[in-house]
Structures are given as structure tokens and as C-alpha cells.
Copies of this chain bind each other. A is one copy, B any other.
């Protein structure tokens, strides 16, 4: 097969007032195109995998694609080997990453996406695990994965569901920006792209572009965060040495 890396990393599965994957369905269709016939779905982030697969199948079928859920295969590694495209859905990121390790899928998914060039879509937790690590997930650590290192399809971190501070709030838990700043207090931490709900990052080979409607906030260690509109070219984040030097 072969081909450049192709990723669609979506902040959130459902936007307020819309249906499942409703806000990004045109991006998905454009991304998968006509050649892909079936998508391999990975539902590990939610407890009820059957119900989750039903929801995802209904949506993908309505867009003209067949969907196989990996939990219905005896051999998940083989399912990845044979897949034409992969979609990892949202839920709890710790649960998802642990299941990817438990099923020995990390290496095989990396190989299929980075070497064979099959399209990868992630939403929320599925976007988190596509990055270097899940260090910047918002989720509760309900299980303990063997590592926080993730698929590493891009050399930086993403914070999905990125949320601006609410100036009227009285709750004293840290804001999202404070949490990411705490991450950057640790040594050698890579850039973090805060993807607001309604936003996604499209990666085609060495080109990364911000899509959607709400924009993103970029956090580099030791620097002031910066705001970015839809359409921003984030290709520089794909440069490994950039990521580790920043």
C-alpha cells in the first residue's frame, strides 16, 4: 500500500445541539473519500462496546461506509492488519490506552498508519491516543495503563475539548490553561495544542491544518500561549526536532 501519513484528529464527537459526529461529517467524507469502503472502529474508550459500535455503525453507514468494530474480531491485531481505515472513538482515555496495550495494538496501528498510510480518525480520547502521550487528557484515571505513551502519530500533545477560563466561575479547581502550564513545568515536555470543541486537525503527510469553526490555543513550554484561527498551518508542529526543542 504505502503513502503519506493521513490523520483527522477531532476534538469532540458531539457538538452541543448536534448529533453524533454531526459537526464533522463532511470533513470525514472528504477525508475518507471514495476509495475507502469499510472503517475499523475501536470502541475501547466506553464500557458498553456493543452499544457504542451500533451508534458508530449507524453514522458511518449513513455516510456511505461500512463499519467493523474491533471487539467483534477474535484477533484484534489481525483486524488492524486488514483494515482500510481506522476510527478510534471518545470516552475514557485511560481505559482506551490500557485496552490498546492489553490487546498489543500500539505497534500494529502505528505501522498501518505511518508505514502503510491508511487513514486514521480519532475523536476526543481517540485524538489523545494519536499523539505522543495522554499526559494532557482531561479524563479521570479510572484504570492504570502500563504507560502514558501513546501511538505517537504526531510528535506533540493535544488537549481535546479545550475550554477557555470562565471569568464568572467561583469553583477553585485549576483552569485548563493552568493545568497545561503545570505540564510544561516538567522538563522536556512537547507542545500542547488545545483544540476547542468544533475544531479538528487535518494531517496529510507533512502538512497539518486546523479545521472546523472554533479555533485552537497553542502552548509551548516557557512561552506565552497563542491563539489560532481555523485554517492555520500547523505543519511546523510535525517537525520532531521542533517539538522537542520548543
Instruction: Looking at the assembled complex, report how far the CB atom of A38 sits from the nearest CB atom of chain B, in whole angstroms.
Output: 28
Tell me whether A67 is interfacial, beta carbon within 8 Å.
no
Tell me whether A3 is interfacial, beta carbon within 8 Å.
no
A58: B residues at CB distance < 8 A: none
A145-165 interface (Cβ within 8 A of B): 147-148, 161, 163
Return the contact of A173 from the options B94, B161, B186 (Cβ within 8 A): B161
A174 — nearest CB in chain B belongs to which residue?
B139
The quantity of this chain's copies bound in the complex is: 2
Instruction: Looking at the assembled complex, report how far the CB atom of A99 sits from the nearest CB atom of chain B, in whole angstroms.
Output: 12
The CA-CA distance from A141 to B134 in the complex, in Å, is 8
A179 in contact with B139 (CB, 8 Å): yes
Return the contact of A16 from the options B92, B161, B172, B182 (Cβ within 8 A): B172
Residue numbers of A with Cβ under 8 A of B are 12-17, 47, 91-92, 94-95, 134-144, 147-148, 161, 163, 170-174, 179-180, 182-183, 185-186, 189, 197
Show 25 residue pairs from A and B whose CB-CB distance is below 8 angstroms, ordered by the A residue.
A12-B173, A14-B172, A15-B172, A16-B172, A17-B170, A47-B182, A91-B182, A94-B141, A95-B182, A95-B186, A134-B141, A135-B142, A136-B142, A137-B140, A139-B174, A140-B180, A141-B141, A142-B183, A142-B185, A142-B189, A144-B147, A144-B148, A161-B171, A171-B197, A172-B197
